[in-house]
Protein backbone atom coordinates (compact mmCIF):
# COMPACT_ATOMS: atom_id res chain seq x y z
CA UNK A 1 0.00 0.00 0.00
CA UNK A 2 1.39 3.41 -0.95
CA UNK A 3 2.08 5.82 1.93
CA UNK A 4 -0.39 8.67 2.38
CA UNK A 5 -0.22 11.86 4.37
CA UNK A 6 -3.07 12.78 6.75
CA UNK A 7 -3.01 16.50 7.64
CA UNK A 8 -2.74 17.28 11.37
CA UNK A 9 -5.49 19.22 13.15
CA UNK A 10 -3.29 22.16 14.12
CA UNK A 11 -2.92 25.06 11.60
CA UNK A 12 0.21 25.00 9.47
CA UNK A 13 2.32 28.05 8.67
CA UNK A 14 3.53 29.21 5.22
CA UNK A 15 7.08 27.82 5.67
CA UNK A 16 5.45 24.40 5.91
CA UNK A 17 3.79 24.83 2.52
CA UNK A 18 7.09 25.92 1.02
CA UNK A 19 8.90 22.94 2.52
CA UNK A 20 6.22 20.65 1.14
CA UNK A 21 6.60 22.23 -2.29
CA UNK A 22 10.34 21.52 -2.20
CA UNK A 23 9.59 17.84 -1.60
CA UNK A 24 7.34 17.74 -4.65
CA UNK A 25 4.28 16.03 -3.17
CA UNK A 26 1.58 15.39 -5.75
CA UNK A 27 -2.11 14.92 -5.06
CA UNK A 28 -3.53 11.87 -6.80
CA UNK A 29 -6.14 10.84 -4.26
CA UNK A 30 -9.83 11.70 -4.43
CA UNK A 31 -10.32 11.03 -0.73
CA UNK A 32 -10.71 14.23 1.33
CA UNK A 33 -7.71 14.92 3.49
CA UNK A 34 -5.44 12.32 1.89
CA UNK A 35 -2.46 13.06 -0.35
CA UNK A 36 -0.45 10.32 -1.98
CA UNK A 37 3.32 10.81 -2.21
CA UNK A 38 4.47 10.10 -5.73
CA UNK A 39 7.53 10.88 -7.85
CA UNK A 40 7.39 13.17 -10.87
CA UNK A 41 8.21 11.36 -14.16
CA UNK A 42 11.39 12.12 -16.05
CA UNK A 43 11.08 14.44 -19.06
CA UNK A 44 13.05 14.66 -22.29
CA UNK A 45 15.70 17.38 -22.94
CA UNK A 46 13.51 18.77 -25.73
CA UNK A 47 10.75 19.55 -23.25
CA UNK A 48 13.09 21.54 -21.02
CA UNK A 49 14.37 23.48 -24.02
CA UNK A 50 10.79 24.34 -24.99
CA UNK A 51 10.03 25.36 -21.41
CA UNK A 52 13.05 27.67 -21.26
CA UNK A 53 12.09 29.22 -24.61
CA UNK A 54 8.53 29.77 -23.37
CA UNK A 55 9.84 31.42 -20.21
CA UNK A 56 12.27 33.68 -22.08
CA UNK A 57 9.60 34.72 -24.61
CA UNK A 58 7.04 35.40 -21.84
CA UNK A 59 4.63 32.97 -23.47
CA UNK A 60 1.12 32.81 -21.99
CA UNK A 61 -0.24 29.29 -21.48
CA UNK A 62 -3.90 28.34 -21.07
CA UNK A 63 -3.96 25.12 -19.07
CA UNK A 64 -6.48 23.01 -17.22
CA UNK A 65 -5.95 22.39 -13.50
CA UNK A 66 -5.72 18.64 -12.93
CA UNK A 67 -4.99 18.44 -9.20
CA UNK A 68 -3.53 20.10 -6.14
CA UNK A 69 -1.41 19.52 -3.08
CA UNK A 70 -0.80 21.34 0.17
CA UNK A 71 1.26 24.06 -1.54
CA UNK A 72 -0.78 24.85 -4.62
CA UNK A 73 -2.25 23.58 -7.88
CA UNK A 74 -1.07 21.03 -10.44
CA UNK A 75 -1.45 21.11 -14.22
CA UNK A 76 0.19 19.53 -17.26
CA UNK A 77 2.11 21.15 -20.11
CA UNK A 78 3.92 19.22 -22.88
CA UNK A 79 3.15 16.03 -20.92
CA UNK A 80 5.05 17.44 -17.92
CA UNK A 81 3.41 17.88 -14.53
CA UNK A 82 3.79 21.52 -13.50
CA UNK A 83 3.14 23.32 -10.22
CA UNK A 84 1.47 26.64 -9.40
CA UNK A 85 2.39 27.79 -5.88
CA UNK A 86 -0.56 29.15 -3.94
CA UNK A 87 1.22 32.49 -3.57
CA UNK A 88 1.19 32.85 -7.39
CA UNK A 89 -2.60 32.57 -7.69
CA UNK A 90 -4.65 35.74 -8.02
CA UNK A 91 -6.95 34.59 -5.19
CA UNK A 92 -4.05 34.26 -2.71
CA UNK A 93 -3.96 34.23 0.35
CA UNK A 94 -5.87 31.06 1.17
CA UNK A 95 -7.11 29.92 4.60
CA UNK A 96 -4.52 28.36 6.88
CA UNK A 97 -7.03 25.75 8.02
CA UNK A 98 -6.21 22.58 6.06
CA UNK A 99 -9.81 21.64 5.25
CA UNK A 100 -10.77 25.15 4.17
CA UNK A 101 -7.58 25.44 2.11
CA UNK A 102 -8.24 22.13 0.43
CA UNK A 103 -11.80 23.17 -0.40
CA UNK A 104 -10.46 26.30 -2.12
CA UNK A 105 -7.99 24.28 -4.17
CA UNK A 106 -10.64 21.70 -5.06
CA UNK A 107 -12.72 24.41 -6.77
CA UNK A 108 -9.89 24.99 -9.24
CA UNK A 109 -9.79 21.38 -10.52
CA UNK A 110 -11.18 21.27 -14.06
CA UNK A 111 -10.89 25.03 -14.56
CA UNK A 112 -8.52 26.60 -17.09
CA UNK A 113 -6.13 29.36 -16.06
CA UNK A 114 -3.90 31.72 -18.02
CA UNK A 115 -0.39 31.11 -16.74
CA UNK A 116 3.25 31.89 -17.46
CA UNK A 117 6.42 29.99 -16.62
CA UNK A 118 8.47 31.51 -13.81
CA UNK A 119 11.02 28.76 -13.17
CA UNK A 120 12.49 25.88 -15.17
CA UNK A 121 14.70 23.49 -13.22
CA UNK A 122 15.56 20.31 -15.18
CA UNK A 123 17.87 19.05 -12.40
CA UNK A 124 14.86 18.88 -10.10
CA UNK A 125 12.38 17.92 -12.82
CA UNK A 126 10.36 21.02 -11.98
CA UNK A 127 8.43 23.72 -13.85
CA UNK A 128 6.75 26.45 -11.83
CA UNK A 129 3.90 28.55 -13.20
CA UNK A 130 2.27 31.79 -12.10
CA UNK A 131 -1.16 33.32 -12.59
CA UNK A 132 -0.21 36.58 -10.88
CA UNK A 133 2.63 37.38 -13.29
CA UNK A 134 0.64 36.90 -16.53
CA UNK A 135 -0.03 40.63 -16.84
CA UNK A 136 3.69 41.43 -16.47
CA UNK A 137 4.56 38.77 -19.08
CA UNK A 138 2.09 40.26 -21.55
CA UNK A 139 3.72 43.67 -21.17
CA UNK A 140 7.15 42.17 -21.84
CA UNK A 141 6.14 40.25 -24.95
CA UNK A 142 7.77 41.46 -28.12
CA UNK A 143 5.62 43.56 -30.42
CA UNK A 144 5.62 41.99 -33.87
CA UNK A 145 5.79 44.52 -36.71
CA UNK A 146 2.79 44.54 -39.04
CA UNK A 147 4.95 43.71 -42.08
CA UNK A 148 6.31 40.51 -40.55
CA UNK A 149 3.97 37.88 -41.96
CA UNK A 150 4.18 34.87 -44.31
CA UNK A 151 4.91 35.96 -47.86
CA UNK A 152 6.73 39.15 -46.86
CA UNK A 153 10.08 40.06 -48.42
CA UNK A 154 12.73 41.47 -46.12
CA UNK A 155 16.45 42.08 -45.96
CA UNK A 156 18.81 41.04 -43.22
CA UNK A 157 22.33 40.11 -42.26
CA UNK A 158 23.46 36.53 -41.83
CA UNK A 159 24.63 36.17 -38.22
CA UNK A 160 25.77 32.55 -38.31
CA UNK A 161 25.89 29.55 -40.63
CA UNK A 162 25.31 26.06 -39.22
CA UNK A 163 25.22 22.57 -40.77
CA UNK A 164 21.41 22.69 -40.74
CA UNK A 165 20.98 26.22 -42.13
CA UNK A 166 21.68 29.90 -41.47
CA UNK A 167 20.37 32.52 -39.02
CA UNK A 168 19.47 35.96 -40.35
CA UNK A 169 18.94 39.15 -38.35
CA UNK A 170 15.81 40.68 -39.89
CA UNK A 171 15.35 43.48 -37.36
CA UNK A 172 13.04 42.54 -34.48
CA UNK A 173 14.58 39.07 -34.18
CA UNK A 174 16.55 36.35 -35.97
CA UNK A 175 14.95 34.09 -38.52
CA UNK A 176 16.35 30.84 -39.88
CA UNK A 177 16.89 29.63 -43.43
CA UNK A 178 16.74 25.85 -43.24
CA UNK A 179 19.22 23.99 -45.45
CA UNK A 180 16.31 22.79 -47.60
CA UNK A 181 15.34 26.42 -48.32
CA UNK A 182 18.74 27.67 -49.51
CA UNK A 183 18.69 26.46 -53.11
CA UNK A 184 16.56 24.41 -55.49
CA UNK A 185 19.70 22.39 -56.19
CA UNK A 186 21.60 20.13 -53.83
CA UNK A 187 23.10 21.86 -50.79
CA UNK A 188 25.84 19.78 -49.23
CA UNK A 189 26.98 22.49 -46.83
CA UNK A 190 25.24 25.86 -46.22
CA UNK A 191 28.70 27.46 -46.08
CA UNK A 192 29.05 26.75 -49.81
CA UNK A 193 26.28 29.32 -50.39
CA UNK A 194 26.25 31.70 -47.42
CA UNK A 195 28.71 33.57 -45.19
CA UNK A 196 28.26 35.30 -41.82
CA UNK A 197 28.04 39.07 -42.27
CA UNK A 198 26.54 38.78 -45.75
CA UNK A 199 23.39 40.80 -46.56
CA UNK A 200 20.58 38.78 -48.12
CA UNK A 201 17.00 39.23 -49.23
CA UNK A 202 14.72 36.50 -47.93
CA UNK A 203 11.09 35.41 -48.07
CA UNK A 204 9.15 34.87 -44.82
CA UNK A 205 7.69 31.36 -44.90
CA UNK A 206 6.08 30.94 -41.49
CA UNK A 207 5.90 32.54 -38.06
CA UNK A 208 5.56 30.97 -34.60
CA UNK A 209 4.90 33.83 -32.20
CA UNK A 210 4.74 31.54 -29.17
CA UNK A 211 8.26 30.27 -29.82
CA UNK A 212 9.42 33.54 -31.44
CA UNK A 213 10.57 31.70 -34.55
CA UNK A 214 10.51 32.85 -38.15
CA UNK A 215 11.17 30.50 -41.08
CA UNK A 216 12.87 32.09 -44.07
CA UNK A 217 13.67 31.03 -47.63
CA UNK A 218 16.20 32.02 -50.26
CA UNK A 219 15.31 29.56 -53.00
CA UNK A 220 11.66 30.63 -53.25
CA UNK A 221 12.72 34.04 -54.48
CA UNK A 222 13.53 32.25 -57.74
CA UNK A 223 11.18 30.17 -59.92
CA UNK A 224 11.06 26.47 -59.15
CA UNK A 225 13.02 24.91 -62.04
CA UNK A 226 10.97 21.71 -61.75
CA UNK A 227 7.89 23.64 -62.90
CA UNK A 228 9.51 24.18 -66.32
CA UNK A 229 11.93 21.26 -66.47
CA UNK A 230 10.47 19.93 -69.71
CA UNK A 231 11.09 23.31 -71.37
CA UNK A 232 14.83 22.74 -70.92
CA UNK A 233 15.29 18.97 -70.95
CA UNK A 234 13.68 16.19 -72.96
CA UNK A 235 13.99 12.43 -72.87
CA UNK A 236 16.84 11.34 -75.14
CA UNK A 237 18.87 14.54 -74.70
CA UNK A 238 22.63 14.16 -74.33
CA UNK A 239 23.93 16.67 -71.76
CA UNK A 240 27.10 17.54 -69.93
CA UNK A 241 26.68 18.01 -66.20
CA UNK A 242 28.69 18.03 -62.99
CA UNK A 243 28.75 15.37 -60.30
CA UNK A 244 26.84 16.75 -57.29
CA UNK A 245 27.09 13.67 -55.08
CA UNK A 246 28.17 10.03 -55.05
CA UNK A 247 26.13 7.44 -53.18
CA UNK A 248 26.24 3.65 -53.02
CA UNK A 249 23.21 3.45 -55.32
CA UNK A 250 24.37 5.91 -57.96
CA UNK A 251 25.68 9.36 -58.90
CA UNK A 252 23.72 12.62 -58.68
CA UNK A 253 24.45 14.91 -61.61
CA UNK A 254 23.67 18.64 -61.69
CA UNK A 255 22.30 19.53 -65.12
CA UNK A 256 20.80 22.99 -65.79
CA UNK A 257 19.16 25.63 -63.58
CA UNK A 258 19.85 23.66 -60.41
CA UNK A 259 18.18 20.51 -61.67
CA UNK A 260 19.73 17.18 -60.71
CA UNK A 261 19.33 13.73 -62.16
CA UNK A 262 20.34 10.32 -60.88
CA UNK A 263 22.74 8.11 -62.80
CA UNK A 264 21.78 4.81 -61.18
CA UNK A 265 24.49 2.25 -60.38
CA UNK A 266 22.82 -0.19 -62.78
CA UNK A 267 23.68 2.20 -65.64
CA UNK A 268 27.37 2.20 -64.68
CA UNK A 269 28.31 -1.19 -63.32
CA UNK A 270 26.63 -4.36 -62.12
CA UNK A 271 26.54 -3.83 -58.36
CA UNK A 272 29.91 -2.59 -57.14
CA UNK A 273 29.60 0.72 -55.23
CA UNK A 274 33.40 0.93 -54.98
CA UNK A 275 33.45 1.47 -58.74
CA UNK A 276 31.43 4.64 -58.25
CA UNK A 277 33.79 6.05 -55.60
CA UNK A 278 36.85 5.19 -57.71
CA UNK A 279 35.60 6.79 -60.91
CA UNK A 280 33.48 9.76 -59.84
CA UNK A 281 34.05 12.75 -57.59
CA UNK A 282 32.05 15.89 -56.75
CA UNK A 283 32.59 18.67 -59.31
CA UNK A 284 33.67 16.30 -62.06
CA UNK A 285 32.24 16.87 -65.58
CA UNK A 286 30.25 13.98 -66.98
CA UNK A 287 28.31 13.27 -70.18
CA UNK A 288 24.89 11.74 -69.62
CA UNK A 289 21.73 10.84 -71.51
CA UNK A 290 18.24 11.68 -70.18
CA UNK A 291 16.21 8.48 -69.84
CA UNK A 292 13.09 9.69 -68.04
CA UNK A 293 11.64 12.85 -66.44
CA UNK A 294 9.04 12.86 -63.61
CA UNK A 295 8.52 16.56 -62.71
CA UNK A 296 5.92 15.96 -59.98
CA UNK A 297 8.41 13.75 -58.10
CA UNK A 298 11.44 15.97 -58.89
CA UNK A 299 13.18 13.03 -60.55
CA UNK A 300 15.30 12.70 -63.68
CA UNK A 301 16.71 9.29 -64.63
CA UNK A 302 20.06 9.36 -66.42
CA UNK A 303 22.22 6.91 -68.34
CA UNK A 304 25.63 7.00 -70.00
CA UNK A 305 25.56 7.91 -73.72
CA UNK A 306 25.96 4.90 -76.04
CA UNK A 307 26.82 2.61 -73.13
CA UNK A 308 25.32 0.71 -70.21
CA UNK A 309 28.24 -0.07 -68.05
CA UNK A 310 31.73 0.08 -69.48
CA UNK A 311 32.40 3.77 -70.14
CA UNK A 312 33.33 6.00 -67.22
CA UNK A 313 33.64 9.72 -67.05
CA UNK A 314 37.00 11.33 -67.44
CA UNK A 315 38.08 13.67 -64.62
CA UNK A 316 38.62 17.28 -65.56
Per-residue pLDDT of 75-132, as tens digits, reads 999 888 999 999 999 998 888 888 899 999 999 999 999 999 999 998 888 899 999 9
For residue 148, is it within any domain?
no
Query: What is the average pLDDT score of the chain?
Result: 81
pLDDT at 26 over 50: no
Q: Which structural domain, as residue segments, surrounds residue 276?
A: 225-303
> What is the spatial distance between Cα 127 and Cα 125, in angstroms, rounded to a whole number?
7
User: What pLDDT, on the 0 to 100 scale, is given for residue 142?
Assistant: 65
Per-residue pLDDT of 223-238, as tens digits, reads 888 888 888 888 999 9
Considering the domain architecture, whether residues 214 and 231 belong to the same structural domain is answered as no
Long-range contacts of 223-227 (CB under 8 A, 24+ apart): 224/184, 225/184, 225/256, 225/257, 225/258, 225/259, 226/184, 226/259, 226/295, 226/298, 227/295
Which residue, 196, 221, 246, sits at the end of a domain? 221
User: What pLDDT, on the 0 to 100 scale, is given for residue 208?
Assistant: 83
Considering the domain architecture, whether residues 182 and 243 belong to the same structural domain is answered as no
Respond yes or no on whether the N-terminal peptide bond of residue 93 is cis (omega within 30° of 0).
yes
* pTM over 0.85, yes/no: no
Considering the domain architecture, whether residues 120 and 169 belong to the same structural domain is answered as no
For residue 147, is it within any domain?
no
Considering the domain architecture, whether residues 268 and 232 belong to the same structural domain is answered as yes
pLDDT at 37 over 60: no
Considering the domain architecture, whether residues 84 and 201 belong to the same structural domain is answered as no
For residue 145, is it within any domain?
no
Per-residue pLDDT of 255-303, as tens digits, reads 887 788 999 988 887 767 888 888 899 889 999 999 999 988 888 999 9
pLDDT at 20 over 60: no
Considering the domain architecture, whether residues 242 and 114 belong to the same structural domain is answered as no
User: What pLDDT, on the 0 to 100 scale, is given for residue 307?
Assistant: 57
Which residue, 140, 166, 201, sits at the end of a domain? 140
Which residue, 93, 110, 140, sits at the end of a domain? 140
Looking at the structure of the chain, the number of domains it has is 3
Amino acid sequence: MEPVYIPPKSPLCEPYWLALLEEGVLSTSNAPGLWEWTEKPESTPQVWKKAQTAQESHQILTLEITGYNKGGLITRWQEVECFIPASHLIAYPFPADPKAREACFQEYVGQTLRLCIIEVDPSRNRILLSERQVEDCERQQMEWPSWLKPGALCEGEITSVRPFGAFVNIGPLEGMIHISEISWGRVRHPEDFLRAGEDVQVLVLDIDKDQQRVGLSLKRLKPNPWDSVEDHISCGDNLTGKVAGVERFGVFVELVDGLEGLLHISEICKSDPDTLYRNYRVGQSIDVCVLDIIPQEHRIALGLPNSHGNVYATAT
